Amino acid sequence: MYSSFSNKHLITTQDWTVEEIEKCLNTAKRLKENRQLNIPHDHILRSKTFFMLFFEESTRTRNSFEAGITQLGGHAIFLTPRATQIDHGETAKDTIKVLTRYGDGIGIRKTYGEGNRYMREVARYSEIPVINMQCEDYHPTQALADLLTIKEKFGDNLRGKKFVISWTYAPNYIRPLSMPQSLILLMPRFGMDVTLAHPEEFSLKPEIVEQAKANAREAGVKFNIVSNMEEAFEDAHIVYAKSWGPIMHTKDKKEGLALIEKYPDWMVDKRKMEIALKEAIYMHCMPADRDIEVTSEVLDGPQSVIYDEAENRLHINKALMALTMAHI
Ligand code: CP
């Protein structure tokens, strides 16, 4: 039986309706229970192949997709531009037209440069589902795993819950905007009031912020932008704090790193977490810069759910592959 998910691409969560995302979350929950109860589910993608094309490094994304398809009975192939003819200039069209003849789905990570344009070009010519494993604008599989984690902690009705995504200091490299942009788009659609906090030079893409505001209006929830971390944390249920680069302000790496150095106080510690509600959770997609972005006391403390988030990457990715590749 073919479902509405058959060969459906996921470049951003905006491509999927709330109902489709709910189905993905419910499928992930079922697959998580099956794994916990040792119920075999390796028939779902038996003999199916998932290509993973990485232009950059990864711990969680690669390993959760690869372990995930193994558990579903299929096989993953790890590809890089150097391991293929992409580095010799083979086009997105020719690459995917050929891979479509061999396998059943493809994930792509291309975070720097025109990653989004590249994966949309692949999707245009692909007859198999294309999953965005992170581009410069979006990281949808991480955001979905985060939403699953929030639902596990606070239940399905998230109306009235305050979700804060805050910039943090982290001076060693310029991180993309994909995580905060994905979170501000997704969380309002599931009933949360969203507050985005960052110093002025660390704004997000205006068109994505406008889309997030439209999502919030449609869902009847609040959307605020503040430039003070402590103000943002007041009454928060969810504190998601991580670094990103001043990409909208400057393309110059040296200038960008100097701008980050202006804000060493934007670090999450126990005192700041005490501004949030008692039941607040701390989230980070990882890798986290320990004792730079956030203290180890918070990362390893009772409010931190970072390893649950990382685990949920596995269950969400299995659900995405099962729904789009197995036609369940
Ligand atoms: N959060 C995340 O995407 O981690 P990796 O970069 O290790 O895949």
The pLDDT tens digits for 204-226 are 999 999 999 999 999 999 999 99
Which residue from 53, 60, 139, 183 has its CB within 8 A of the most atoms of ligand 1, so it is best to mutate? 60
| Tens of pLDDT, residues 27-61 | 999 999 999 999 999 999 999 999 999 999 999 99
Which residue minimizes the CA distance to atom 3 of ligand 1?
Answer: 61
Domains annotated on the chain, with CATH: 3-139+310-325 (3.40.50.1370), 142-307 (3.40.50.1370)
The answer on pLDDT for 113 being more than 90 is no
Mean pLDDT across 168-185: 95
**Reported pTM:** 0.97
**For ligand 1, mutation pick of 56, 59, 293, 306 (most atoms within 8 Å of CB):** 59
**Class of residue 211 by CB neighbours under 10 A (exposed 0-12, middle 13-18, buried 19+):** middle
pLDDT at 285 (0 to 100) = 98
Query: In the prediction, which pLDDT does 2 show?
Result: 47
Q: Does residue 283 have its Cβ closer than 6 Å to ligand 1?
A: no
The reported pLDDT for the residue numbered 199 is 98
Evaluated on CA atoms 127, 133, 139, 142, the torsion sign reads positive
Read off the pLDDT band of 242 (50, 70, 90). very high
Q: Is 144 near ligand 1, meaning CB less than 6 Å away?
A: no
Whether residue 156 has pLDDT greater than 60: yes
